[in-house]
Chain A
Amino acid sequence: MPRQIYSAEAQQLKDRTLVVDNGAYTIKAGFASPASAAETPACHIIPNCIARSPRDKKTYIASDLAQCRDFGELAFRRPMEKGFIVNWESERAIWEHSFFDEQAVLKCDPHETNLVLTEAPNCPLALQTNCDQMVFEEFEFGGIIGAWVRPSLNAYNDIPALFSAPPSLLPTELLLLIDSGYSHTTITPLLSGRPLHPAIRRLDIGGKHLTNYLKETISTHGTYDVMDETHLINQVKEDACYVSSSFAADLEKTWKGGQRDAKQADTSIVVDYVLPDYENVKRGFMRPHDPAQSRLRRAGPVHGPREDVLPLGNERFSVPELLFEPRDVGLREAGLPELVMQCLEALPVGLRPAMLANVAVVGGNALIKGFVERLEREIRARAPAEWVVRMASPEDPITYTWNGGARFASDRERLKSVVVTREEYLEHGVNLLRRRWGAK
C-alpha cells in the first residue's frame, strides 16, 4: 500500500512555500526561502480576528486592525476556539484578505504554493479533516505539509543556542516544549522533532484567560468598568503584569492595611496606568504611583486636561499567577510546574532527566516578566536533586515556532518526503493525509 502512495506524482513539489503558524490570536505567516538564500525570511504577524468598532461603525479584517484609531469597546470575532479553527467562514475571510487579496503583502497563487500549516496538539479528527478539505478544495493549494502538531516545528530551530551550546544537527534530539499561547498552555516532549503523543499535556489557561481575569479584577476592585475593553486590558496586561517571585510577600506589600492601621502603598509595586482616550493619549502607559494625586482627584474635580488613571496594585502579579495556581479561579487543574512533572511521568524513566535538561518556553505568555525564572525555580524544587534543569526562552517567543517552520521548509528534500500534493489528495482523498503523517 505505501508503495502506491509514493508514486511519481508525489515528487511534483511547487516552488514557493508559505509557512503559516495559525495562532488563535495572531497568524504568523511568511514565505520560506531556500537555505542558500542570504536574507532571512520575513515573518508577518497578522491579527486572526474580525473586529467591529461600535464607535466608528467599521469592521476591520485581520491586518486592517492597524488602521483602527479608536479601540474603545472593540468587539472581536475569532475563527478559532480553544486553539483550533472551528469557524471556517471567518477564517476564510481572513485568509483571503491576507494571502489572496490584490493588496496583500503575502499575496500568492495557491495553485503554485505549498502550505506548511500548524495545528495545536490533540485536535479532534473532524476538525483536522475539515482543515484538509478547506485547504485543498476551497483554497486549492498545490500541496500541504501540515496538520502537524505545532510544537514539533520548534525542534528545527537552533535550540542549543538558547542554552549557549554549540549547534547540533537538526532536528534537535530532545526537547520539552512549553507553548503558552492565547487559548491554552501545552507541554510537548519531542524526540528528534517527533512528538511523544501519550505524554502531551494541556493546561486550560492561556493569555485570553489572564486578560479576562484582569478585566474582572479591575472592574470589581476599582471604579472603572472595563468589561468591554478587551483590547485595552490586553495592553495593560502586556505592559504591567509580571510573575511574582514571592507571592505572599508582594501581596503583603500592596495591602492597603486594616481599618485602623492603614498602610502606605509600596510604590515599588503599585503603579499608575494612564488610560488612553484615543484623542490625546493614543496608547496607555505606566508611570510611578503618585498617592497625592489620586487623593486630590478623589477630593474634587481636576482642572486642566482630564486624564484617567488606573492604579494597579496586586492585580499586577495575581493575574499571571493563574498559570501556576489555576485553582485561584476554581479550575481544578495542576499548575504549570506540577503539570511538567505529570508529563514526565508519562515518559520512560530514562528520558526524564534528559527532557528536563532541555526545556524551551515559547508563546506570548513567555514574555511576561519573571515567568521563565519562576517556572524554572519551581520545577527545580520538584525534580530530584541529581537532575539538571535547564530552561530558556527565545528572544521572540511569538514567532519562534514560525521560524522553526521556515527552517524546516528551507530544505526541499525534507519537504519532498512529507508533502501531500493536490493531485495525490484528489486521487486518494482525505484519509491519505492521516496515513502519511502517521496520526491515527
Chain B
Amino acid sequence: MPTIEVLPNTTASAPAPGWAYVPDTGYDPSKAPLIPPANRKRARNATQTTSADVLSARQATALQRRLNELDKDNHRDTRDIAIPAKKSSGGARGGAGTGRTPATKKILISAKTFAHHIEDEEAALARGGDRGSGVSTPTARPPVRASKTPIHRRASLLRHESSASVSTPTTGGLSPSPLSPATPGESGMPPPPLPVRPQVLDLSTAAESMDVDADPLLKSEALPMPTEAELEALLNAPPLSYSAARAGPPAPGGPPQRHFCEMCGYWGRVKCMACGTRVCGLGCKKEHEGSGRCVRF
C-alpha cells in the first residue's frame, strides 16, 4: 500500500546547499526493498523484530523530529547571531569575514552543516573505500560494524570462552595491577612476543573445547591472547566512519521500551483514545485533555 504523507518542511531534511557525487550504478540489490512483496510473510518471520520495533513512516518522521529537537543548541533557530566586529586589536589579523589564503577563505564562508559533511563522507565511501577527499588509499575498509552483530548471538560464545578459563592472570586477587602479565605491551615499546594460540571460532573446535569445559582438570590457563601481529593490525586499523561508530541497537531479548505519562512522568499505563499519548491515570488524562495538547484528527 503506498504511503501518502506530508513531508516535513524542516531545515534538516530540506534540500540544502552543497552537493555530492552519488554513483548511479544501475540496479543495486542492497538498495532493493527489504521485504520483497512476493514473500512478505516469510521475510517477516525470518527477522526477529517484534511489532513494536516496526515503525510506520509517520512514526519514524515524528521520532526523527523529536531527536532533532533534543539535539538543538537553542530552542529557536539562532543561526543569525552575528559575530561582533573586532575592537581593532592585534592588527596583524585580516578583516572579519575574509580568510588569508584561498583555502581558508573557502572554509570560512562555507555554510555546510555537519549533516552535509556526513552525506559527503557516505557518498565517498559508497564510491569506493576512501573516507573523503584528500589522501587516496587504495585499500578498501574492512566491513567492521559490530553494531550489526546481535549481542545475544555472541553472548553464548563470550560466556563459553570465559568459563573455559580460570580467570584473568592477575597478580593480587581483587585489584589487578595494570602491569599484570595479561597486559601486552610495555609503554612505548612494541609488545613482547606472546604465546601464539590460534583463535578458534569454527564449530568443530568449539565442540571440542566444550568437552574440555566438562573436565575441570583440563581447564585452560588463560584467555587466548592476541598475537603481536594481530595487535599491530588492530592498532593500525583505519578509523571507522562516523556512522559506523554509532552504538548498535539494544539486544533483542532485552526489556521492552518504557513509556511514561506525559503529564507527570510516572509510568504511562494508558493511552489517550484520541491521540495515543501515554498518561498514568484518569487525573492526568483530564489534565491532558484540558492542556490543549490532545490533538484529535
Give A contacts to B, CB under 8 Å: 50-52, 59, 61, 75-78, 81-82, 84, 86, 88-90, 92-93, 96, 100-103, 121-127, 129-130, 133-134, 137-138, 149, 159-160, 163, 165-166, 168-174, 186, 191-194, 196-204, 208-209, 212-213, 215-217, 220-221, 227-228, 230, 251, 254-256, 258-259, 313-315, 318, 325-335, 338-339, 341-343, 345-354, 357-358, 384, 386-388, 390, 430-431, 434-435, 438-440
Contact = CB atoms under 8 A, between A and B. Distances in A.
A126 B183 contact: no
Given A168-B179, A200-B239, A258-B281, A101 B90 contact: yes
B133 A129 contact: yes
Interface string B189-223: 00000000001000000000000000000000011
A123 B240 CA distance: 9
B265 A217 contact: yes
Contacts of A100: 90, 93
Nearest to B288: A220
B159 interface: yes
B23 interface: no
Nearest to B111: A87
A346 B146 CA distance: 6
Contacts of A329: 66-67, 70
Interface in B128-169: 131-135, 137, 142, 144, 146-147, 149, 151, 154, 158-159, 161-163, 165-168
Contact of A354 (B90, B165, B183, B237): B183
Interface residues on B, range: 35 or more
B168 A354 contact: yes
Interface stretch (B1-9, B25-33, B35-43, B246-254): B246-254
Nearest to B250: A334
Interface in B75-90: 75-76, 78-79, 81-84, 86, 89-90
Interface of B: 63, 66-67, 69-76, 78-79, 81-84, 86, 89-90, 93, 97, 99-101, 103-104, 107-110, 112-114, 117-118, 120-121, 131-135, 137, 142, 144, 146-147, 149, 151, 154, 158-159, 161-163, 165-168, 170, 174-180, 182-188, 199, 222-226, 230-231, 234-242, 244-251, 254, 257-258, 260, 262-267, 280-283, 293
Contacts of B165: 386
B81 A353 contact: no
Nearest to B92: A100
Nearest to A383: B162
Given A327-B258, A346-B146, A77 B78 contact: yes
Contact of A345 (B67, B71, B135, B146): B146
A89 B108 contact: yes
Contacts of A127: 117
B158 A386 contact: no
A122 B267 contact: no
Among A126, A137, A194, A339, chain B packs the most CB atoms within 10 A around the CB of A126
A75 B82 CA distance: 12
Given A165-B175, A349-B223, A204 B133 contact: no
